[in-house]
Amino acid sequence: MSADHVRTIVETRIHRPEAIAAAAAARKRPASLLGPTGKLMVIAADHPARGALRAGPDPLAMADRGELLDRLVVALSRPGVNGVLATADVLEDLLLLGALDDKVVVGSMNRGGLAGTVFEIDDRFTGYDAGGIDAMGFEMGKMLLRIDPADPATAPTLQACGHAVDDLAERRRIALIEPFISYRDDDGRLRNDLSTEAVIRSVTVAAGLGNTSAYTWLKLPVVDDDPAGMERVLAASTLPAVLLGGEVPDDPDAAFRQWEKVLRLPTALGLVVGRTLLYPPDGDVAAAVDTAVSLL
């Protein structure tokens, strides 16, 4: 991104902060949550708010905001991409750049479980709340739900997610829940259990949160320990589900092939992918995004 564009955003934030709310009010809302393919294709960029900046071998890949915005603008301009997931700071920059018209906008809600901390499982709601998402006219609120059977801090996170589901449903906004069964490894690092059994358990817990599931969708990893694993995962609930991208894979083509198979299942409604598409090994964001869209 040019220095002029960054300077314009900064000057707007200094002299006309009210322009952000005005841009949100003027944003052209999407006619449907699903794009022209009949699926949802969302670019995720809420990692920095948790201090998770790594993409591939670069530990600070997502730390340059101008470069991240450049990559996001390219990704959002590609045919078939109809959504973005981020925290307020990133979404507001995109609003000021005029990049969110006709897009499904997903506000990231709980970012308090900072990566690598002893309190990571205590994932407090430090980002959007339901009222903020509604006031900005956004379509969805996303929450991360990591369930560590050995950590009592899981309980308040479960409760907070249940309340958020209720608050979003009252406003007829979609709650997008990303659940995992998690554990601490021998080095004390929080890991997600991506076995079929663990992901099925996480689905059943997340699906039951709140007073209603009418506005609840799930954001799920693709399991590969069982040939029929994703069929079993998606059979655990009737809630619409989108597939997440996760870390930048060593073999992006293999990841694309996995997504293609799972997207044939009836409750698989699309992709929510961030670093895999924004920071592909060859640096070609447009090509990576177009490949992902072709799977839909």
Q: Is residue 131's pLDDT more than 80?
A: yes
Extract long-range pairs of 249-257: CB within 8 Å, 24+ residues apart: 249/276, 252/276, 252/280, 252/281, 252/288, 255/222, 256/291, 256/292, 256/295
d(CA 73, CA 97): 9
What pLDDT is attached to residue 121? Answer: 96
- H helices of the chain, where? 3-15, 18-26, 65-77, 88-96, 130-136, 154-170, 196-207, 229-234, 252-262, 275-278, 285-294
Q: Is residue 227's pLDDT more than 90?
A: no
| pLDDT mean over 253-268 | 86
For residue 187, count other CB atoms closer than 10 A to its CB.
6
Mean pLDDT score of the chain, rounded to an integer?
A: 94
d(CA 159, CA 136): 25
What are phi and psi for residue 116, nearest 5 degrees? Answer: 85, 5
Return the closest-CA partner of residue 29 out of 115, 138, 106: 138
Positive/negative CA dihedral, 208, 139, 67, 221: positive
What pLDDT is attached to residue 250? Answer: 67
| pLDDT mean over 146-164 | 97
| pLDDT mean over 9-32 | 97
What pLDDT is attached to residue 32? Answer: 95
| pLDDT mean over 167-188 | 97
**Helix/strand number for the chain, H first, E second:** 11, 9
Which pLDDT tens digit goes with each residue over 51-72?
Answer: 999 998 899 999 999 999 999 9
d(CA 205, CA 178): 11
Percent above pLDDT 70 for the chain: 98
Residue 4 in tokens: 């002029």
pTM of the model: 0.95
Residue 4 confidence class, pLDDT cut points 50, 70, 90: confident
What pLDDT is attached to residue 257? Answer: 83
Low-confidence winner among 38-47, 91-100, 118-127, 257-266 (lowest mean pLDDT): 257-266
Return the closest-CA partner of residue 207 out of 198, 199, 216, 196: 216
Which pLDDT tens digit goes with each residue over 178-202?
Answer: 999 999 999 999 999 999 999 999 9
